[in-house]
Structure 1
Amino acid sequence: MKTIMNRLTAKNILMLVISFVCMFFLTTASPFYEFNRSVDANTMYTVGKGLLHGLLPYKDLFDNRGPLIYLIHSLNAVFSYHSFTFIYVIESLLLFLDIAYINRILSMKLSARTAMLCSLLFIPLAFTSRIFYYGDLPEEYAMTFVLILTYSCIQYNWFEMPRRYYIVNGCFVAILFWIKYSLVIPWIVFFVYIGIACLLTKRFKQLFMIILDALIGFLSVTLPIIILYWSTGALKFLFNDYFYLNLTHYHVQNASLSYTLFKMEYPTFGFSHHLVIIRTIYYLMIALFICAIVRYMREAKMHDSNKVLLVLIVFIDILATYEVGGASFSYYLFACEPFLLFYLFELGLVVDKYLYNKKYVIWGLSVIALLGIFVTNRNYRTSMYVTKPSHSYQYEYSKIINKSKDKSLLNYRFLDVGLYTYTGTYAKDRFFIRNNISYKKMDESQREYLHSMKYKFVVAKYRKGWKLFKKDREFLAKHYKRLRHMRFDYKDHSQGWIDLYVRK
């Protein structure tokens, strides 16, 4: 308790307030939004609610994320069964840790005011609509943990790092591994590097203690999960759905290093990278990024081996994020956004050189930096204070379904659009949605659900170049009546129509 009270400094309280205020507008999980339009967030929430009703992820409800992310959303359902308020609180706390650790890192070489300015500028740069989408991302946990890992690599020489740091990092690996295993890349680099360094310097006892501490942290999170799935006979479903199917059936893509770099390094304005001028800017940003890292390594008071370790973590993580993630969704790179701190360090050097004594100018720039969230992130345009609820299919379709005693619903051939959330229902069939994964059994099961006619309501959507198969359309036309036909818009890259059907 005393340690906590000592950390409640004016600066930390300010950063905590700023985090809650900024996240209030940034994530659609916040109370500022009547509906969370994120299909991923609603999918995780529906599976999480299933836990409260005795349904296990993978065995009873199919999705291909890690089990811990569903537990987090299950806790959200305990606090609020129709909203994402608990998720908003978690995201706000993660943002607080983000800017707090960036501030710590930058304060090592920059003045206090400049470090705060750069820390606040991180928010609009990292949380853009292009890469943050609607929020509630597994990558948010990775961002915070990577910043803590980066701080520890800067603060301590690898051979002098306190034992508790290895235990904590072991916990971080386990948490991320059971949220989304592709996020553990920085820790693979970290532990492999330290292991090799210990062997080369004949620190065998220290290596043993590092392995022991890391295992303590990892197993403290992992064992309860394994025991739960083993005791319920669902262990084979966990390994098949979370590991095997992700590794063999999820999208596979190839991305060059330069493509991955400029996707991460310059996401803010959403320009097309196919334009020659814009591509030139991207490559200049890559060059600036490399120069910024070199400058930081020259300025930082770190052991040379720690500098090598940090550089390896940065570039291997950026390079491998797409490849290990299995697809080219831009939000995958949100976990790499902590490395923007090298840009911020370069900016801070300039500010300290020319504006060091102009504190009011620096604080004014800090306010402008925070207001930048309304420039780089456009989620606020979908809030209940900007758009009318009646323009939302979530509102209209939930209103119709909630009037019926039978709320049985089939979300047919696409991800969860939130109707389980806003009708206060939960899914009871394993393949309650159609995931972004090529899995024949899922498609066949969904068609069986539809043709069984056990659902009173069916919701289906389509867009240009994609619609239901002919036999599905014919079946719906024969046995169901289309009640509503409304437009959906997902992050400017997926527009189309979404229909609500009721059984005749």
Structure 2
Amino acid sequence: MNLKELSKKHFETLWCFITSLFVLTFTTRSSFLFPYNNWDDANSYFTMGKGLMNGMVIYRDLYDQKGPFLYLLYGIGYLISHKSFFGIYIFEIIAGTIFLAFAFKLIKRHSSTSVALVLIPLVAAGVYSSRSFYWGGAAEEFCLPMLAYTIYIIDIFMHPKDAKEYDRISDSKTYLIVGILTGITALVKYTMMGFFFGFAVISICFIIYRKGFVEVLRKALIYILGIVLPFIPWLMYFAITGGLDDWYRCYIYNNLFFYSNITADSISLYEKIYKLAKLQYWLILDNFEYFVWIIVCFILALIFEIKAAKKIAYLFMYASTFFVIFYGGGTLPYYSIPLTVFALPGAAYVADIFQKAYIKYNKRALWCNTAGLVIALSAVFAKYNCLSADYLLQSRQDHWLTRMASHIEKAPDTTLLNVGCLDVGLYTITGIVPTCEYFQTNGIALPTMFEEQSRYIKEGLTEYVIAGEREPDGIYEKYELIDSVSFYDNSYDQVYYLYKLK
């Protein structure tokens, strides 16, 4: 098969890849157009992945509270590029391509290839330049392909072309696949489980309607089997390394009882619902780029769908997703990334309307040329609309991280401690592998973490210390200040201090 035949056969995937590449290159700080991805969360994941690839046991030897599959992905990214986010940039492009590929399939089901070509860049620009997307590299971002596949399956459940298509897509294999995707997502960040709860409830309704209760039980067992499968390699890994208890303590227990307010009794249910409704209002205002598609989805579903269950299916899945993500009290912008997947059925409903115009003015060349223009305009919109717009094409040499790194000795055994803040990125650009369990000050605010970091400083366990917000108590007993920087970024003042062991 020559290149022309290959590109023709995989044209839709190629279009999604081009769209993903164009849009993400201007919006994620992992891109080569940015000096660094200096998002502390992403650097924390990178350092955990680096530790994993250097023989350290995550959760036992290094503390952070995201899921192991995220650290594995970042670890592979580290193997691609030890001191940059180039590997993560590649994975973001791949994840974006898969996400958009299922969006393309979904839109095409309701319209045509030509209409999908035009709408895909608009959806991509809305999702990847929104405030929710943040700076690029979030755990939720890498789960979008799995959510998009599931939404695509739900759409076929709701709008099968014929009985054969429904039977084909609702077989055991599909439930096994969605189960596996559920398990993987749970091992990236389990706050997204509300989405799959919504899927399960809707699936049960459709199965009961078509096949009865016995079939529900059979599909449920297959789905649960799929969920369990991704856990097996990690159970083996942590069992062999003696880290099972640490995995549970860090990823489950501490997240529930220290990181979130899910167990708090200080406010009433009414107050909680009021706060969630207020949060939803601000999410719409802050992320109108993709919420316009979601709102359209809910409105057109009420208008176009005949059966009551289909009218509210997406709304129910959205509510389940939203509730589980935000009930614990966290409101960081990137938490809402999973909600962006509901823009896809909205685009599909719009595509249904566009298709009528396409039939009336059936000029394929016109639509293809329009698609080319739309992808260009979408990239321009994404460039200027994203949160990182002011950071684009800044000089790496003028960045404070470059200056800080220049003070650090370039040796394989150089050690570093990050205190008072999440990983600022110095581990990444210097290539240093952390040697302390609490290598950063995590947002989970464990008393043990503060005690241990104070001990590290008191005993001078690392050659360098970088501190954020304020100078650590007792730091000058063992260390001397060699550099400091203060600047305004991300809506607040930041200050960092770099120390060297005397």
TM-score normalised by the chain length of structure 1: 0.85
The 5 A counterparts of 1:250-289 are 250-252=259-261, 254=272, 256-268=275-287
* 2:266 paired residue number: none
Letter of the 1:12 partner, please give it: T
Assess, with a 3 A threshold, how the Cα gap between structure 1 residues 367 and 354 changes in structure 2: closer, same or farther: farther
Partners of 1:6 and 1:395 in 2: how far apart? Answer: 42
Q: 1:293 aligns with which of 291, 298, 320?
A: 298
* 2:342 paired residue number: 339
* 2:480 paired residue number: 481
Assess, with a 3 A threshold, how the Cα gap between structure 1 residues 407 and 489 changes in structure 2: closer, same or farther: farther
Q: Does 2:322 align with 1:318?
A: yes
Partners of 1:306 and 1:227 in 2: how far apart? Answer: 42
Letter of the 2:254 partner, please give it: L
Q: 1:416 aligns with which of 412, 423, 444?
A: 423
Q: 1:182 aligns with which of 191, 196, 203?
A: 191
Indicate conservation of the 8 Å contact 2:110/2:349, yes or no. no
Assess, with a 3 A threshold, how the Cα gap between structure 1 residues 89 and 498 changes in structure 2: closer, same or farther: same
Q: Which stretch shows the higher mean deviation, 477-486 or 148-157?
A: 477-486
1:218 offset after TM fit, Å?
A: 1.8
The 5 A counterparts of 1:224-263 are 224-252=233-261, 254=272, 256-263=275-282
Q: Which stretch shows the higher mean deviation, 476-485 or 117-126?
A: 476-485
Partners of 1:409 and 1:488 in 2: how far apart? Answer: 22
Partners of 1:85 and 1:443 in 2: how far apart? Answer: 33
* 1:17 paired residue number: 18
Letter of the 2:105 partner, please give it: R
Assess, with a 3 A threshold, how the Cα gap between structure 1 residues 129 and 458 changes in structure 2: closer, same or farther: farther
1:143 offset after TM fit, Å?
A: 2.3
Assess, with a 3 A threshold, how the Cα gap between structure 1 residues 199 and 420 changes in structure 2: closer, same or farther: same
Partners of 1:171 and 1:374 in 2: how far apart? Answer: 35
The 5 A counterparts of 1:1-16 are 8-16=9-17
Partners of 1:241 and 1:380 in 2: how far apart? Answer: 35
The 5 A counterparts of 1:394-473 are 394-403=401-410, 407-462=414-469, 467-468=470-471, 472-473=472-473
Assess, with a 3 A threshold, how the Cα gap between structure 1 residues 489 and 36 changes in structure 2: closer, same or farther: farther
Indicate conservation of the 8 Å contact 1:406/1:456, yes or no. no
Indicate conservation of the 8 Å contact 1:173/1:218, yes or no. yes
Partners of 2:412 and 2:84 in 1: how far apart? Answer: 22
1:399 offset after TM fit, Å?
A: 1.5
* 2:496 paired residue number: 498
Indicate conservation of the 8 Å contact 1:141/1:176, yes or no. no
TM-score normalised by the chain length of structure 2: 0.85
Indicate conservation of the 8 Å contact 1:38/1:134, yes or no. yes
1:122 offset after TM fit, Å?
A: 1.2
After superposition, what is the alpha-carbon deviation per residue over 1:346-374, rounded to whole angstroms, capped at 9, x for unaligned?
Answer: 65567567786363556534432332111
Q: Does 2:231 align with 1:207?
A: no
1:199 offset after TM fit, Å?
A: 6.2
Partners of 2:221 and 2:33 in 1: how far apart? Answer: 45
Residue ranges of structure 2 left out of the alignment (5+ in a row): 161-165, 263-271
Q: Secondary structure at the match of 2:466?
A: strand
* 2:176 paired residue number: 167
Assess, with a 3 A threshold, how the Cα gap between structure 1 residues 42 and 456 changes in structure 2: closer, same or farther: same
Letter of the 1:331 partner, please give it: Y
Q: Secondary structure at the match of 1:498?
A: strand
1:21 offset after TM fit, Å?
A: 2.9
The 5 A counterparts of 1:354-393 are 357=361, 359=367, 360=369, 363-383=372-392, 386-393=393-400
After superposition, what is the alpha-carbon deviation per residue over 1:227-271, rounded to whole angstroms, capped at 9, x for unaligned?
Answer: 11122221111111110100000143856343343344343479x
* 1:278 paired residue number: none
Q: Secondary structure at the match of 2:60?
A: coil
After TM superposition, what 4+ stretches of structure 1 lie above 6 angstroms from structure 2?
A: 4-7, 199-202, 353-356
1:148 offset after TM fit, Å?
A: 1.4
Partners of 1:289 and 1:415 in 2: how far apart? Answer: 33
Partners of 1:129 and 1:306 in 2: how far apart? Answer: 28
Residue ranges of structure 1 left out of the alignment (5+ in a row): 271-281
1:423 offset after TM fit, Å?
A: 1.0
Assess, with a 3 A threshold, how the Cα gap between structure 1 residues 200 and 116 changes in structure 2: closer, same or farther: closer
Assess, with a 3 A threshold, how the Cα gap between structure 1 residues 486 and 390 changes in structure 2: closer, same or farther: farther
1:483 offset after TM fit, Å?
A: 1.4
Letter of the 2:432 partner, please give it: T
Assess, with a 3 A threshold, how the Cα gap between structure 1 residues 59 and 244 changes in structure 2: closer, same or farther: same
After superposition, what is the alpha-carbon deviation per residue over 1:302-325, rounded to whole angstroms, capped at 9, x for unaligned?
Answer: 97645543331122222332115x
Letter of the 2:278 partner, please give it: Y
Between the two proteins, the alignment pairs up a number of residues equal to: 475
Q: Which stretch shows the higher mean deviation, 43-52 or 83-92?
A: 83-92
The 5 A counterparts of 1:73-112 are 73-112=74-113
Assess, with a 3 A threshold, how the Cα gap between structure 1 residues 230 and 402 changes in structure 2: closer, same or farther: same
Indicate conservation of the 8 Å contact 1:82/1:422, yes or no. yes
Assess, with a 3 A threshold, how the Cα gap between structure 1 residues 404 and 174 changes in structure 2: closer, same or farther: closer
Q: Secondary structure at the match of 1:390?
A: coil
Partners of 1:416 and 1:56 in 2: how far apart? Answer: 18
* 1:223 paired residue number: 232
1:479 offset after TM fit, Å?
A: 3.5
Q: Secondary structure at the match of 1:179?
A: coil
**RMSD after superposition:** 3.1
Partners of 1:449 and 1:316 in 2: how far apart? Answer: 43
Partners of 2:79 and 2:105 in 1: how far apart? Answer: 35
